[in-house]
Structure 1
C-alpha cells in the first residue's frame, strides 16, 4: 500500500489517504480474462457453443502467452493441447500433454475435476480463483483461470479455451495452487443444425480446416450397418448360386439337342 506524502505542518493529514494496490492488481488480471471471454462470445452463433476450429490466435494476440486449449480425455480429466509461455514458466516445464490437475495440490484436484465435468456436460463457463501456499521466503501468490467450452470437429463439447493470469513466479520453480473460489455460469446451448446447401452455391465440408488453432481431421465416409452388410452378402450368394445353376444347365441342354438331332435308321425293302 502507498501512503500519501506529508505536507505543511499537519503530520497526520497525508496518512489518512491509503490506496489499496489489490484493486489495480485484480483489474490487470481481469483484463486478459474479459478479453478472452469477449472473443469467445463473438464467435458464438446465437446460443450455440463455438467450434474449436473457429479460434484464431490473431484474435488473442495480446494474451497469447497466457492462453491454453484443453481436450477432455476422461471424466474429470482434461489435458493441455496448446499452452502459452506463461503456463510453461509457472510449471517450470513444457505442459503440453499434461493434465490440468497437475497445476493443483492434491486437496484441490477433486474440486477442479468436478468443475471440468460441469463445464463439458452443462456446458458452462468456469472461473477459478487460486492461491499458492505461503512459505517463509515467499508470500502466497494469487492467480485466476477462465475456461470456456468449445465443440470439437465431431460436434461434441470436449474442448475448452482457457486463460491463466497470475502475479508471476518469483521462485522460478513449479507452482501448485489451491482453489479459493469457483464461479460457474451456465451457457444456453442448442443442438447444431445441418442446413441443406443452396443450389448454385458450393457445399461447405464439415471438416474444413481454418487457420489458427484448428485441428486437422480426416473426413469419414458413411458407415454401413450390420443389416446392410448382411443383405449385400445374401445378394452376392444368390448371384453365385444362380451363375452355378446356369453353368450346370447348359451341358444338359446341349446333350439333349444332340440326341434330338441324331440320325435314325431307315429300313429299305427291295422286292426285286
Structure 2
C-alpha cells in the first residue's frame, strides 16, 4: 500500500504534518478497530466486498460504525449507522446523506473525498471539529472511510467510522474538516512500501494533527474459511 496525500491547493509542502500513530489509537480507539477489521477482510485484494462485513468483527465499535452507499458522484447515503451517529444528529440517520454531518463550507471537500474513495480507490481519514455555541461545547472527531465493492463488483460501498472526543451537547452537531489523509490503495503484493502525511483542506482551519491510517496487524481471521481465488481445469487424454 502506498500513501498518497495531495493538498487541495497550492503550497502543499507547508501543509505536511508529522503524525504519531499512538495518539490516534488512544484517543479514537474505534477508528483503529474498524480499520484493522477492513484490512483483515481484504487480505491481499484491492478492497473487500460489502457482503463480507460481519458486525461481530467490530462489536466494540458498532455504535460508531456505518455503511455508506455512493448514490451519485460525491454523494453518499447512510444505509446502516450506529447509535453514536444518531446522537450527533439527535434523530434517526439511516437514509440521510453524510453531508448532513458537515457545515456547508465543508461539503465540497467532503464530496471530493467521497469521490476519490470510490474511484481511485482511496482510504480517507478526516480530522473534524464541530461548530460551537450555546449548549454545544468543543467536540473533536475523526472520520474513517474505507471502500468496498457491491454485488456487481463496483466500488460504491463504504465502511466508515465516526468517533468523537468531548460532550455532544445540544444536537445536531455539524463539523468542519480541519485535516485529511488520503491513502491510495494497491494490492499488498504490488506496493510493499508506502508513506504517510496529513494535509489541511482548503478551508485553512487549523487543528493539532492526529495520526491517521496505518497498516495494522490483523487481530482476528475475518474469513475463517479459506477461499480459492483461481480454479484450473486440467484435462487428460483417456
TM norm. shorter chain > 0.5: yes
Determine the C-alpha separation between the residues in 2 that align with 1:161 and 1:155.
15
- 60, 73, 76: which one pairs with 2:74? 76
| Count of aligned pairs between the two proteins | 175
- CA 1:39 to 1:172, structure 2 compared with 1: closer, same or farther past 3 Å? same
Structure 2: unaligned runs, 5 residues or longer:
1-20, 189-227
Query: How much has 1:197 moved relative to structure 2?
Result: 7.4
CA distances 1:113-164 after superposition (whole Å, capped 9, x unpaired): 0000010000010101000122255442101100100011110000010011
How big is the alpha-carbon RMSD for the aligned residues of Structure 1 and Structure 2?
Answer: 2.5
Matching residue within 146, 159, 162 for 2:160: 162
Unmatched segments (≥5 aa) in structure 1: 1-22, 200-272
CA positional deviation for 1:40? 0.6
Whole-Å separation in 2 of the counterparts to 1:24 and 1:155? 35
CA–CA separation in structure 2 for the residues paired with 1:24 and 1:141: 20
CA contact (8 A) 2:122 2:147 kept: yes
Q: Which has the higher contact order (CA 8 A, sep 6+)?
A: 2
C-alpha distance in 1 between matches for 2:36 and 2:168: 30
1:187-198 alignment runs, 5 A limit: 187-189=185-187, 195-196=230-231
Greater Cα offset, 115-124 or 160-169:
160-169
What is the distance in 1 between the residues matched to 2:125 and 2:59?
A: 21
Structure 1 residue corresponding to 2:63, chosen from 62, 65, 85: 65
Q: 1:197 to 1:64 in 2, by over 3 A?
A: farther
Of 109, 123, 126 in structure 2, the residue corresponding to residue 125 of structure 1 is 123
The CA deviation string for residues 205-247 of structure 1, in whole angstroms up to 9 with x for no partner, is xxxxxxxxxxxxxxxxxxxxxxxxxxxxxxxxxxxxxxxxxxx
Q: 1:174 aligns with which of 147, 172, 177?
A: 172
SS of 2:60 mapped into structure 1: helix
Question: Does 2:25 align with 1:39?
Answer: no
Q: Aligned in 2, Cα 1:41/1:24: closer, same or farther, shift over 3 Å?
A: closer
TM-score by length of 2: 0.67
C-alpha spacing 1:176/1:65, structure 2 compared with 1 (3 Å): same
Q: Verify the 8 A CA contact 1:90 1:168 in the aligned structure 2.
A: no
Aligned mates of 2:162, 2:148 — CA distance in 1? 17
2:138 and 2:166 in contact (8 A); partners too:
no
User: Which residue is equivalent to 1:217?
Assistant: none
User: Given the alignment, which residue of 84, 96, 99 partners 2:97?
Assistant: 99
Deviations 1:237-259 (A, max 9, x none): xxxxxxxxxxxxxxxxxxxxxxx
Evaluate the alpha carbon distance shift between residue 36 and residue 170 of structure 1 in structure 2; reply closer, same or farther with a 3 A threshold: closer
| Other-structure match for 1:152 | 150
142-151 or 25-34: bigger deviation: 25-34
- Structure having the higher helix fraction is 1
Aligned pairs (5 A) from 1:162-241: 162-189=160-187, 195-196=230-231
TM-score w.r.t. the length of structure 1 is 0.59
